[in-house]
Amino acid sequence: MPSLLIATTNQNKLREYAAIFAGLPLELRTLRDLGITDDVDETGATFAENARLKAAFYAARSGLPALADDSGLEVHALGGEPGVRSARYAGPGASDADRNALLLQKLAHVPFHARLARFVCAIALGLPDGTLEDVEGSLPGVIDMAPRGTHGFGYDPLFYVLDENATLAELPPERKNAISHRAQAARAARVVLERWVAQGLL
């Protein structure tokens, strides 16, 4: 069975991808499985650029087809912040709670109805020969006034989804995985992978 390298060390992401790619004739491998510890400088100006940088690098480095993503939060009232800096928003070594606290601080005087935001996930798929394709998913929401919920990770406790009447962290994991930006992008990536399998590229 051909392998697909999922280029992340985030166990939460790995679980989500494993669920969405279930049934594909691919063995999912991780950076840890292959002993790859190299980091890629995320110098892209967009989520898609960063995902493509990582997919190309890890496909070449491993000799395997590679999937890489870049995702984050864009808040309209903050001019799109934190954007591609979502994971680094509060500086090196900061925790999810630190990043959430900084976001709330910056939005302290912004009313609920003006806290429109969206989660974005770009996924790039790369082959060792340099072939690249990317897809994207997004989820609209509102930044809540305080963290709520115990599920999820990152900004999930603050991200209120109007259609669900709940933050992402209040939703059961299976529901979040059905609607999230990453789920949407991963379903689109699955279509690409199915095509690559049919074409004998994997």
Give the contacts of 140 (CB within 8 A, at least 6 positions apart).
Answer: 116, 117, 118, 161, 162
Alpha helices (H) along the chain: 11-20, 31-34, 47-62, 96-106, 173-179, 181-198
- Taking the C-alpha atoms of 146, 82, 36 and 186 in order, what is their torsion angle to the nearest 10 degrees? 80
Question: Do residues 130 and 160 make contact, with C-beta atoms less than 8 angstroms apart?
Answer: no
Q: Indicate which residue of 39, 41, 69, 70 is catalytic.
A: 70
Computed from CA positions of residues 26, 30, 36, 40, in that sequence, does the dihedral angle turn out positive or negative?
positive
Q: Which amino acid is at 186?
A: A
Instruction: Count Cβ neighbours within 10 Å for each residue of 120-136 and write b for 16 or more, e otherwise.
Output: bbbbbbbbeeeeebbbb
DSSP helix/strand/coil, 108 = coil
* Pair of tokens at residue 61: 């480095």
Phi and psi for 80 in degrees, rounded to 5?
95, -5
In 3D, which of 60, 56, 5 has the Cα closest to residue 34? 5
Check if 41 is active-site: no
Hey, which residues are catalytic here?
Answer: 70
